[in-house]
Structures are given as C-alpha cells and as structure tokens.
Amino acid sequence: MQAIDTFIPCPCGNADGYARCCGPLHDGAVAATAERLMRSRYSAYVLKREDYLLATWHASTRPTTLKLGAQQPAPTWLGLTVKRHESQDDHAVVEFVARLRYGGGKAQRMHEISHFVREAGRWYYVDGSFPDAAAP
C-alpha cells in the first residue's frame, strides 16, 4: 500500500505547510504573535473562512458579515510578504503586502499596516491603514 502525500502548502507562504502553520489556528489554537494571527487571517481570506476572520476581529471594529462568497469576481490570492512586525506589551503593528487578482485582470497589491491588540492572551485584529492609497 502506497502512502498518500497529505502535504498541503500553507496559503501564507510558510514552508511547513498548512497542517503545521495556519491550520491549527483555524481549528482554535492561540496565535503566539500578532504576525502569526495576521498570517492566519490571510490564509482565512484565501480559504474563505469568514467564521475565523470574524472570530479574530476585535469586537470594537468587527463587521457583522464579510460576504466573502458574494464577491464577484472572487479574488485569487497570489501571495503574502510581511514587511515588519512590531509589538509592545499588548499592542502590535504588522505591515504586509498581499498580492491578488480579480477575475482575469491584472495582478494587484494590497499594502496594509494592521493594528492588533491582545486581550485575555489572544491577539485580535483591530483595524488597518493603506499607505499606498491616494489621498483625497
């Protein structure tokens, strides 16, 4: 009997694979750092895990729904690059660039500076700013 290769790459880009990276967080494990939470949230967007995204969003800024399945055309996520992670006590900032494409369109970059807070030992996404966005 031949062994089945169950290695699935992690959407966040970690070479350890989904089962050892973001999978346990999606199943309820606690992220040790805000960067780990941010990476797992990126993977949740790729996998359309709205439940996880809402559960890891701070209650003060959490939307009621994300309607990930309703996006048309749905984005194809192409990769993630973490530019920096700064943490002080129970607050953290993670700057990243996510690459995506809508339909057959041109690839785009989403550059975000995300803010996180830790409460009762768990990190939560609070909000983000987009430094590449054009000023009004």
d(CA 117, CA 100): 27
pLDDT in tens, 18-43: 999 999 999 999 999 999 999 999 99
The model's confidence at residue 64, banded by pLDDT at 50, 70 and 90, is very high
Structure tokens at 42: 């990126």
Specify the residue for token string 């700057």. 95
Is 99 in contact with 105 (CB distance < 8 Å)? no
What DSSP line would sit under 20-74, residue for residue? GTHHHHHTTPPPSSHHHHHHHHHHHHHHT-HHHHHHTB-TTT--S---GGG-SSP
pLDDT in tens, 78-96: 999 999 999 999 999 999 9
In this prediction, residue 74 carries a pLDDT of 87
* CATH number 3.10.450.50 is the correct assignment for the domain at 18-129: yes
Is pTM beyond 0.85 here? yes
